Amino acid sequence: MKFFIDTADVGEIRELAQTGLVDGVTTNPSLIAKSGRPMAEVIREICEVVDGPVSAEVTATDFETMLKEGHYLAAIASNVAVKVPLTVDGLKTCKALSDEGTQVNVTLCFSAAQALLAAKAGATFVSPFVGRLDDIGADGMELIEDIVQIYGVYDFPTEVLVASVRGPNHVVQAAKMGAGVATLPPSVLRQMYNHPLTDKGLAAFLADWKKTGQSIL
């Protein structure tokens, strides 16, 4: 499973990229707004830090303007994946851009039917929002299972990019289901490698080693 980081904070991305665990980055207009910086500048800088796909989202809602924005964003760097919403105009834009060889991330997916349309339109990634479904009493992980099954039956190349991840359990469940990618807030990635028993065990090992009076170097 590939891990993308869901943030526009370049400092966070640089730090986490040093772990070797970051395969890409996803951004959206809200995250860009939090950065307080020009969008193109932020995306360009992220693309210099991360070799994998960096999702940059259009803000238009009509096909013609979405396509223009998509061309502009794709020209920022070769690893930009243009992010479009799962609407009719978004799917038209996805088809046009993917036919040109541009990576496209179709976002705000909340049903298996929508995911099927995204794959048919040539999406590189489809982003189902599991946390937001959980928030309204639905089962976000059930959606992931349905999409993975459908894509497997028809051998669609579109990758399931699990989004709106709220904790490590979402990631583990998605991995068990065969989802190809999860995009994580930095806090969730850190939660994945932190465990109190690891800390306790390390403290015990170090205490025992100190008693020996030895030094490896």
Residue 193: how many CA atoms within 13 Å on its side-chain side?
A: 7
What phi and psi values does residue 104 have, to the nearest 5 degrees? -130, 135
Level-2 CATH architecture, domain 2-212: Alpha-Beta Barrel (3.20)
DSSP H or E stretch at residue 45: helix 39-49
Q: Would you kindly state where each structural domain of the chain is located, as residue ranges?
A: 2-212
184 has which bridge partners?
A: 5
pLDDT at 120: 98
pLDDT at 78: 98
DSSP 165-194: --SHHHHHHHHHHT-SEEEE-HHHHHHHH-
CA–CA gap between residue 92 and residue 127 (Å, rounded): 17
CA–CA gap between residue 183 and residue 27 (Å, rounded): 10
Residue 156: how many CA atoms within 13 Å on its side-chain side?
A: 25
Residue 76 identity (one-letter amino acid): I
DSSP 98-112: HHTT-EEEEEEE-SH
pLDDT at 162: 98
pLDDT at 50: 97
pLDDT at 94: 98
Strands (E), 113-177: 125-128, 159-162
Answer yes or no: 83 catalytic: yes
pLDDT at 7: 97
CA–CA gap between residue 86 and residue 83 (Å, rounded): 10
List of residues 6+ apart from 156 with CB closer than 8 A: 119, 150
Select which of 2, 34, 68, 83 is catalytic: 83
Per-residue pLDDT of the chain (217 residues; tens, 9 = 90+): 999 999 999 999 999 999 999 999 999 999 999 999 999 999 999 999 999 999 999 999 999 999 999 999 999 999 999 999 999 999 999 999 999 999 999 999 999 999 999 999 999 999 999 999 999 999 999 999 999 999 999 999 999 999 999 999 999 999 999 999 999 999 999 999 999 999 999 999 999 999 999 999 9
pLDDT at 114: 98
pLDDT at 190: 94
What is the DSSP-derived secondary structure letter of residue 161? E
